[in-house]
Amino acid sequence: MIIPPHELAAFLENRQGNPHAWLGMHPATLGRKKGVVVRALLRGAVKCECVELDVPGTKSHALTMLAPEGFFEGFIGGKKDVFRYQLRYETSWGEIHQIYNAYSFLPTLSAQDLYLFNEGNEHRIYEKLGAHPRKLGEVPGVAFAVWAPSASRVSVVGNFNGWDTRYHPMRPLGASGVWELFVPGLHEGELYKFAVWDQQGHMRMKTDPYGTYFEAPPNNAAIVCATDHHTWGDGEWIARRAEQAGKVDRPMSIYEVHLGSWRRNPEDGDRPLTYRELAPALADYVTQMGFTHIEVMPVAEYPYTGSWGYQVSGYFAPTHRFGPPEDFQFFVDHLHQRGIGIILDWVPAHFPRDSFALAQFDGTHLYEHADPRLGAHMDWGTLIFNYGRHEVRCFLIASALSWLERFHIDGLRVDAVASMLYLDYSRKAGEWIPNRYGGRENLEAISFLRQVNDLVHQYYPGAVMIAEESTAFPLVSRPTKVGGLGFDYKWNMGLMHDTLAYFQKDPIHRKWAHDKLTFGMVYQYSENFITVYSHDEVVHLKASMLGKMGAGAPEQKAANLRALYSLIWTYPGKKLLFMGGEFGQWREWNHDASLDWHLLDLPEHRGIQSLVRDLNRLYLNESTLSTNDFNPAAFRWVNANDGDNSVLSFARLDPAGGAAFLVVGNFTPVTRTAYRVGVPQAGHWSEVLNSDADVYGGSGAGNFGGKDSEPIHADGCEQSLALTLPGLSTIVLKWAAAN
């Protein structure tokens, strides 16, 4: 036996941290004789020999079994250097195999790869770490790599080695913290995990942080899966998207979707639709409704369905629940070819404590902060990323970029940004640590957000970054070069809360809350806002959008909702509406059940749906409404002060002078006749939308297609209209310059 006994014992007892120093083929001297020594550790093997590949015929050399676990060693004299070979071995169950030795290959990561990763600047590290089918020379196999700098040993385990942690120990690549192994003969579809030992000798079985596909809980193993099989057909879409780079004030009406509950298959156990089933059905519906984009609630792999995807364990993998990664690519491709953009909910703010995933990955607080005052999320019981650690930042940036590269996503909506920006977020005094200047801002998280936003815009022109940010943090949607965070858009949480607070009141009490409708204009142009009514507003006993509306009778609730939608679709800001809200679902959203599509058999729900469709068409077809959301010169209050009557009016103006829109809301059940409203232009004003029209389920009261202005002073204007304002309604009138 040439290998020292203690090194052999280290293999057999799962203590060997440097397997490539002993396994494989190495130059050796036995006595005075020079040659090579070959070692192999093969599960179930009882005989083994080394077969030379570059000599005529078949020349083999028997190896000696040193341990019944399948450890073999043999000295081959007369060899000046290592040579190409395979191992031919026989198992205890009588099978004969001939394979390449996993320990005869050079590392699959270069020194440059590792340097950039440790520096935090390897933006495509997802192509290096994880599991990747590839060929080394002419030898096919899978290259495994994982970052675990404090581990004493790491093995890759899977079906291919019976999940036995002894048989594929990985090698450490210097001081990089990366462990690597190329396993020849493996193919896509193999299940695997990493067995990670800490410095105290305790083993953790971890799934791959960079995995691209996972099996279902409770096992949560990663699956070897390439992401380059799909042939994309969306080249024209991507080219058009790039042409829009930097043009944030463009039409955007977003339909927010939870893929597992939008529509289900009742004929097959009420299961969710697959990616391939969803693609045509969702494309047809979104096209019919006139939305420009969908926003998909998180699809990055997650173990607990009840988290809705917001507790992520696989930051590079579409969830297995609806199909493999190639099917998700088909989904995106199909929608692109139908002219629909796709925004993905992305969750870099926190991650779950599940023992199989990122938490204490190598026995230390690797991805999270060790101090719970920095690393524990108080509200959700999750862990917070250590944004100051280069490799963690690299991991998250690579995750963001991978969704745009591998899956052609058009942008990311970044969840819970406020919790990232503030060290004292949802914490009491003494529960947080100030930054180095004594402040409450999380400087490392701010730096990370700026970096990821800039890199997305650099690599993928036209892709958008959207912040769910609920505070008054400055310059969220302003470029980093002027001190901003670099997002393209920010969710308008303030306007959402104010308008819902207003419309939830019984109409008789609204006169005392009129400021809820007007205060938002104080800050409207401080950011590039998206007005949102998202999933968060229709869960946890908050009631559905229709259920929130003040007044008791169902028809009045429907009228209120139509008036609210009409107000918001004509108010400055891009639009977002969560599924079910577009037809007035009564129930709160249930992630385990389909939307209540049967409600569309009822006229009041068809009316709400028809209104949303027509609002989208009006918004998209009129540039005054859809490309002037961020231009303060294109908005003017007409009368923001008639709280006694709960009437509000404003104008949307074409800066070129070609068109103007008048929006008037009457938010009590009282129909007002001859209500005078000032207008900025003389002439005919066509009534282009009336939320109380009978086609939407309303009373049909209105202005008979439009009104001519009169030279009567009102609201600071020389011209005015005498309008009929139906109760609980919003009407929209348009003036157009003569050709």
Q: What is the CATH number of the domain that holds 23?
A: 2.60.40.10
Angstrom distance (rounded) from CA 43 to CA 61 = 20
Angstrom distance (rounded) from CA 391 to CA 368 = 12
- Which residues make beta-bridge pairs with 191? 223
Name the nearest CA neighbour of 231 among 330, 341, 342: 330
Structure token digits, residue 441:
């801002």
Give yes or no for a contact between 97 and 51, defined as CB atoms under 8 angstroms apart.
Answer: no
Angstrom distance (rounded) from CA 390 to CA 444 = 10
Structure token digits, residue 655:
């800066």
Burial 485-507 (b: 16+ CB within 10 A, else e): bbbbbbbbbbbbebbbebbbbeb
Structure token digits, residue 210:
């960079």
Residue 640, domain member (yes or no): yes
State the 10-residue block means of pLDDT for the chain, 739 residues long.
93 91 94 94 95 85 96 94 95 92 95 97 97 95 98 96 95 96 97 96 96 96 97 97 94 98 94 97 98 98 96 98 98 98 98 96 96 90 96 98 98 97 93 94 97 98 97 96 98 97 96 97 97 97 96 92 98 98 97 97 97 98 96 97 97 94 97 96 97 96 95 96 97 90
Radius of gyration of the chain (CA): 32
Angstrom distance (rounded) from CA 687 to CA 670 = 20
Using CA atoms, how far residue 523 sits from 381, 496, 665, in Å, is 33, 13, 21
Burial of 552 (0-12, 13-18, 19+ CB in 10 A): exposed
Residue 425, domain member (yes or no): no
Using CA atoms, how far residue 479 sits from 249, 399, 457, in Å, is 15, 22, 11
Which candidate in 234, 301, 333, 415 is catalytic? Answer: 415
Name the nearest CA neighbour of 662 among 627, 638, 630: 638
Torsion (CA) 493, 352, 301, 485 in degrees, nearest 10:
40
Residue 460, domain member (yes or no): no
DSSP state of 483: T
Angstrom distance (rounded) from CA 685 to CA 679 = 9
Give yes or no for a contact between 204 and 198, defined as CB atoms under 8 angstroms apart.
Answer: yes
Same domain for 714 and 673, yes or no, is yes
Sheet holding 706-708, edge to edge: 635-639, 647-653, 659-666, 729-736, 684-690, 706-708
- Which residues make beta-bridge pairs with 467? 414, 490
Q: What angle do CA 38, 42, 44 make, to 5 degrees?
A: 140
Name the nearest CA neighbour of 154 among 304, 366, 395: 366
Residue 642, domain member (yes or no): yes
- Which residues make beta-bridge pairs with 672? 725
Same domain for 708 and 684, yes or no, is yes
Residue 567, domain member (yes or no): no
Angstrom distance (rounded) from CA 295 to CA 699 = 34
- Which residues make beta-bridge pairs with 465? 412
| Number of domains, the chain | 3
3-state secondary structure of 334: helix
Burial of 99 (0-12, 13-18, 19+ CB in 10 A): middle
Structure token digits, residue 561:
């909702």
Structure token digits, residue 154:
């790491």
Same domain for 15 and 82, yes or no, is yes
Angstrom distance (rounded) from CA 130 to CA 145 = 5
> Which of 71, 104, 137 marks a domain boundary?
104
Structure token digits, residue 50:
């080394």
Structure token digits, residue 66:
């040193």
Sign of the Cα torsion 421, 423, 424, 427 reads: positive
Q: According to DSSP H, which parts of 504-553 are helical?
A: 515-518, 545-548
Residue 605, domain member (yes or no): no
692 labelled catalytic: no
Q: What is the pLDDT of residue 739?
A: 64
Same domain for 96 and 119, yes or no, is no
> Which of 56, 73, 104 marks a domain boundary?
104
Same domain for 98 and 137, yes or no, is no
Structure token digits, residue 318:
């579409």
Query: Backbone dihedral region of 75: left (phi > 0), alpha (psi from -120 to 50 degrees) or beta?
Result: beta
Residue 511, domain member (yes or no): no
Same domain for 127 and 73, yes or no, is no
Burial 401-435 (b: 16+ CB within 10 A, else e): bbbbbbbbbbbbbbbbbbbbbbbbbebeeeebeee
Burial 35-71 (b: 16+ CB within 10 A, else e): bbbbbbbbbbbeebbbebeeeeeeeebebeebeebbb
Name the nearest CA neighbour of 195 among 169, 176, 173, 217: 169
Angstrom distance (rounded) from CA 391 to CA 492 = 33
Same domain for 168 and 138, yes or no, is yes
Angstrom distance (rounded) from CA 486 to CA 456 = 10
Helix (H) or strand (E) holding 400: helix 390-407
Angstrom distance (rounded) from CA 114 to CA 112 = 5
724 lies in which domain range?
630-736
Structure token digits, residue 398:
């690579």
Distance of CA 136 to the CA centre of its chain: 33
Same domain for 94 and 125, yes or no, is no
Structure token digits, residue 307:
């988290």
Structure token digits, residue 24:
């494989």
Long-range contacts of 12-16 (CB under 8 A, 24+ apart): 12/67, 12/69, 12/71, 12/166, 14/153, 14/155, 14/165, 14/166, 14/197, 14/203, 15/152, 15/153, 15/201, 16/153, 16/169
- Which residues make beta-bridge pairs with 660? 653, 735
Structure token digits, residue 431:
């529960």
Give yes or no for a contact between 346 and 413, defined as CB atoms under 8 angstroms apart.
Answer: yes
Same domain for 140 and 50, yes or no, is no
CATH number, residue 719: 2.60.40.1180
Structure token digits, residue 463:
């892709």
- Which residues make beta-bridge pairs with 35? 28, 77
Structure token digits, residue 451:
């970096």
> Which of 223, 243, 272 marks a domain boundary?
223
Helix (H) or strand (E) holding 52: strand 45-52
3-state secondary structure of 643: helix
3-state helix, strand, coil in the chain (%, to 5): 30, 30, 45
Angstrom distance (rounded) from CA 122 to CA 115 = 8
Helix (H) or strand (E) holding 578: strand 574-578
424 labelled catalytic: no
Same domain for 115 and 146, yes or no, is yes
Residue 458, domain member (yes or no): no
Same domain for 67 and 100, yes or no, is yes
Which candidate in 190, 468, 498, 604 is catalytic? Answer: 468
Same domain for 126 and 207, yes or no, is yes
311 residue type, one letter:
Q
Q: What is the pLDDT of residue 552?
A: 80
